[in-house]
Amino acid sequence: MISDFIIERISKEIAGEIAWSENPGEAMKKWRRIFNVTQLEISKKMRVFSSVLSDYEKGRRSPGSKFIRKFVISLLEIDEKRGWITVKELARNLRLPATALLDIREFTKEVTLEKVVEAINGEVLYGKDELNKYIYGYTVLDSIATIETLSGYEFLTIMGLTTERALIFTNVGTGRSPMVAVKVSFLKPRAVVVHGPKVVDPLAIKLAQSDGIPFILSRAPDVNTLIKNLKSLQG
């Protein structure tokens, strides 16, 4: 399973390189070959003649934004049918945890922790006196994939541009493992959110208290709703 965030990030990387290239056709050909896709395959997916794609790659035509978007989406759809082979490799090259990282954003304006709690239908288990503090972004992780796939260094990279953020773990059992991971990390988020547990392990709350990190239980109905509501805070 590849998160929408990873797909969006890689899509923008590819489209941006093509759009900004002095030779967009060569850039398109490069990415087509990186994805190991023939002109015939992608032209069928895009529903254009292969000769049209050839014209773009040879510089006889200049692609507009709509064509580039269609081209990138087609590459990704082909790769999805192959099990995301190329996307997973690109994610590794970009140091993006392909299965663990569900979303990561920097807020474009100041957002209080209280607003985040409201957005995720949260219950503050520790740190109610910190609700007026500002946070500047969030990271959403699948807790099981994080434990199974992330190295210590990769865990540090998911903090984004600032540690003044909410670190949100989904697919959580009791909340103990996420707080243990935070406890042993020398970078601490402004707040930790867990989504999934019906009952939170008291040890998780104690670990949050020992580090002085607000600890919040999200009761959002599902992960998609959780992320959607977080994104709305940027508006």
Domains of the chain by range and CATH? 4-93 (1.10.260), 101-232 (3.40.1390.20)
User: What are residue 167's DSSP bridge partners?
Assistant: 139, 192
The amino acid at 97: P
Asked if pLDDT for residue 124 goes beyond 80, the answer is yes
Whole-number Å distance between alpha carbons of 137 and 109: 9
Asked if pLDDT for residue 92 goes beyond 70, the answer is yes
Whole-number Å distance between alpha carbons of 154 and 141: 12
Asked if pLDDT for residue 85 goes beyond 90, the answer is yes
Q: What confidence score (pLDDT) does residue 133 get?
A: 93
User: What are residue 194's DSSP bridge partners?
Assistant: 169, 217
Joined together, the tokens standing for residue 192 give: 């930790």
Whole-number Å distance between alpha carbons of 126 and 216: 7
Asked if pLDDT for residue 122 goes beyond 80, the answer is yes
Q: What confidence score (pLDDT) does residue 189 get?
A: 93
User: What are residue 140's DSSP bridge partners?
Assistant: 103, 168
Joined together, the tokens standing for residue 131 give: 């609700």
Nearest to 48 by CA among 29, 67, 64: 67
Dihedral sign, CA of 219, 160, 165, 186? Answer: positive
- The one-character DSSP state at 129 is G
Averaged pLDDT for residues 118-127: 96
- Name the residue with higher pLDDT: 198 or 154: 198
**Integer Rg of the chain from CA:** 21
Averaged pLDDT for residues 117-126: 96
